[in-house]
Amino acid sequence: MTPVTWSVHRSRETPVRTIAVTVFILAFLVFVYWAFQLLFTILALIVLFVTLHSYFLPITYTLNDDGVTIDKYILRHTYPWQQFRRYFRTSGGIVLSPFPQKSFLDNFRGVHLLLPQDPGPIISYLEHRFATGMPDKTPDQ
């Protein structure tokens, strides 16, 4: 099957929100510098970068025969297809779940993939993948 690759860059998709978040972060860092000096400001900057890097940096997803690869520029991880039993759509993407039936643990144990503006090729790939090599899939929740 032909691999499917796409990128999602949330900060570019919502520029007004990105400006607001950036202003808030800068104001917070100024406050930390004023209250605690340079060492804690650097620590705060590192913590904020680690927690928000997936919003400010693009994420590249690849679906291929080996599995699902998520490249966040800092971390890159490949999940094998044997780990997943079904998938379902959410408001912002798709969750690949390790459970054969709906479970309250889906969002904790599953892998969430953000979708681009045109998710058609991704959905087609997953439908084919889960129909031929996996147990039953669950329709949208």
The position carrying tokens 């959410």 is 90
Please answer whether residues 97 and 83 qualify as being in contact, where contact means their C-beta atoms are separated by less than 8 angstroms.
no
* Segment 7-30 mean pLDDT: 95
Domain coordinates of the chain in residue numbers? 10-56, 64-133
* Segment 64-82 mean pLDDT: 93
Reply yes or no on whether the pLDDT at 132 is more than 80. no
**pLDDT value for 107:** 86
* Segment 40-65 mean pLDDT: 94
Which element (helix H / strand E) includes 13?
A: helix 10-13
Give the mean pLDDT of the chain: 90
**pLDDT value for 138:** 46
One-letter amino acid at 129 equals R
Model confidence pLDDT, tens digit, residues 95-129:
999 999 999 999 899 999 999 988 999 999 999 99
